[in-house]
Amino acid sequence: MGKEPFVVLMAEDNEHDIVATKRAWKKHYIANPLYIVTDGEECLDFLRKKGKYSEPGAAPRPGILLLDINMPKMDGLAVLTEIRKDEDLRRLPVIILTTSKAEEDRLKGYDLGVNAYVVKPVGFENFSEAVRTISLFWQLVELPEGGHVHS
């Protein structure tokens, strides 16, 4: 144990869900630093350290990405497609956390290599418990080292 808590990046445009996530983080004393981006293009800029995230330290490498599907500019499935095509990002663990219960979204997410697909539970207590469970699970998982390919 005793590992440094990894950064969690959340791509979410719904202000209510952002506030609920931050509340759940505090309620459950989740040690992982939480960074939030609000659309798909911003998510890729953060991951690739481009634009406003190009300053050193502005965008630490996340250990996991919590990704919403329905976002402006570029939806979550398009972001996931880009991540899996990118040699530096393709091993990044991605959890789709969405309101979409559509079977086609779930199947497409898994076809594109998502690590988990979670439908957001209704109500703060249920949502908070889901966030806590996701956090506990990912504390146990051995993440790929920096997500980079070693030759």
Q: What are the pLDDT digits (tens) for 2-35?
A: 567 788 999 999 999 999 899 988 988 888 899 9
Query: Does 49 map to a domain?
Result: yes
**What is the CATH number for 52?**
3.40.50.2300
So what's the pLDDT on residue 151?
28
Average pLDDT over all residues of the chain: 87
Residue 145 lies in a domain: no
Question: What range does the domain containing 97 cover?
Answer: 7-140
3-class secondary-structure state, position 27:
helix
144: closest CA among 120, 113, 105, 107?
113
Residue 146 forms part of a structural domain: no
Assigned token pair, 115? 């690590």
Report the alpha-carbon distance of residue 77 to residue 19 in Å, rounded.
Answer: 23
pLDDT digits (tens, 9 = 90+) for 48-62: 999 999 998 889 999
Exposed/middle/buried for residue 48 (C-beta within 10 Å: 0-12, 13-18, 19+)? middle
Task: Classify residue 31: in a domain, yes or no.
Answer: yes
Rg (CA), the chain: 15
Domain count, the chain: 1
Residues 89-146: tens digit of each pLDDT: 999 999 998 888 888 999 999 999 999 898 888 888 888 888 888 888 877 776 666 5
pTM over 0.95? The answer is no
